[in-house]
Amino acid sequence: MLRRRQTLLSGALSLMSGVGCPCVAGAKARRHNDIFGCMLADHEVQAFFNTAPETRMFITGDEPMIPRSGDKDFDLALAQTLVLISDLFQVTPGFAYYDDYDGLNAFATSRARLNGANGTVLFGQGMLARLRSGREDPDVSVAAVCAHEFGHIVQYRNRLTERLSAGQSTTKRAELQADFFAGYFAGARKRQKPSFPAAMFAVRLYDFGDNNINEPSYHGTPDERAAALMYGFQSSYRDGNSLSQAIDISTRYAMAL
Ligand SMILES: [Zn+2]
């Protein structure tokens, strides 16, 4: 069950409790082992693809959302956000909604379903509904989850996943670097658009994922995750680092954890 936890805010991008990737523990017949974070293991991918009928790449922002959410403005905003993340992260994964009956979630995989795509980001339809039911900035909530997942695509593309997981029993380093990238995106948006609700971005993303608290060894402790996100935010917002600089900085950071 998804349980909402209280999050205390004290100023923009203040430290958050319960920081974690949006991997949420589900109940029955789960297709995913949480030990892999929100990256799908190869043997898990097909079970998810089977419930994700259509995949699309977002390159111009004019591509229609499939399936549509029922809200034309939301669909357009999300398509444009996916393009912004793609441009900043220099990756173009396929994007698909899947049936997250076994636990509200979103995932990344290096497996591509479309020619030329850099892997695939799978977004749960239940997760979408849950985020969109939020009273404030639902589009920002969805963007936050997408930025984290696209961060894993950056790792696949730059062959960081193996490096980060070498000698490790969990994917904690990779999850923390994905948090860094999510923060990096929030900082870049805030730099371009000062009204961008970066604090909300962070809070909404990390309002999810109770399993992160139960299994901090998989994903990092709340403090570690807040620190990774803040570091990524500062890397773009304050320091104006390029993507390659951000990759180097975050890789060194994650490897030292
Ligand atoms: Zn993740």
CA 172–ligand 1 middle distance (angstroms): 9
The string of pLDDT tens digits covering residues 25-47 is 444 578 988 888 889 999 999 99
Q: How far is the CA of 63 from the centre of ligand 1 (A)?
A: 26
Better pLDDT: 160 or 128: 160
User: pLDDT by residue (tens digit) across 187-228?
Assistant: 999 999 999 988 876 666 665 543 444 565 577 777 888 889
Predicted structure pTM score: 0.86
In contact, 24 and 2? CB cutoff 8 Å: yes
User: What is the Å distance from ligand 1's center to 175 Cα?
Assistant: 5
- Supply the pLDDT for residue 21: 46
Mean pLDDT of 140-155: 93
**Rounded CA separation 18/148 (Å):** 15
Of 198, 216, 205, 141, whose CA–CA distance to 178 is shortest? 205
Identify the top-confidence range among 12-16, 32-36, 147-151. 147-151
pLDDT band of 6, cuts 50, 70, 90? very low
- Ligand 1 centroid – CA 152 distance (Å): 7
Residue 61 CA to ligand 1 center (angstroms) comes to 24
**pLDDT value of position 2:** 37
> Are 181 and 147 within 8 A, CB to CB?
yes
What is the pLDDT at residue 205? 60
Q: How far is the CA of 191 from the centre of ligand 1 (A)?
A: 24
Residues 6+ apart with CB under 8 A from 130: 2, 104
* Single-letter code of the amino acid located at 28: K
CA gap 41, 108 in Å, rounded: 10
C-alpha of residue 68 to centroid of ligand 1, in Å:
25
Evaluate whether 21 touches 38 at the Cβ level (below 8 Å).
yes
**For residue 4, pLDDT beyond 80:** no
CA of 40 to the centre of ligand 1 (A): 10
pLDDT attached to residue 215? 62
Residue 131 is predicted with a pLDDT of 85
* Chain Cα centroid distance, residue 93: 13
Question: Measured between alpha carbons, how far is 225 from 216 in angstroms, rounded to an integer?
Answer: 10
Task: For residue 67, report the distance from its CA to the centre of ligand 1, in Å.
Answer: 23
Measured in angstroms, how far is the CA atom of residue 92 from the centroid of ligand 1?
Answer: 17
- Ligand 1 centroid to 107 CA: how many Å? 7
pLDDT in tens, 40-76: 999 999 999 999 989 999 998 888 887 777 788 888 8
- The residue with greater pLDDT, 105 or 249, is 249
pLDDT above 80 for 23: no
Q: Which residues, other chains included, contact 148 with Cβ-Cβ below 8 Å and sequence gap of 6+?
A: 21, 22, 38, 106, 178, 179, 181, 182, 205
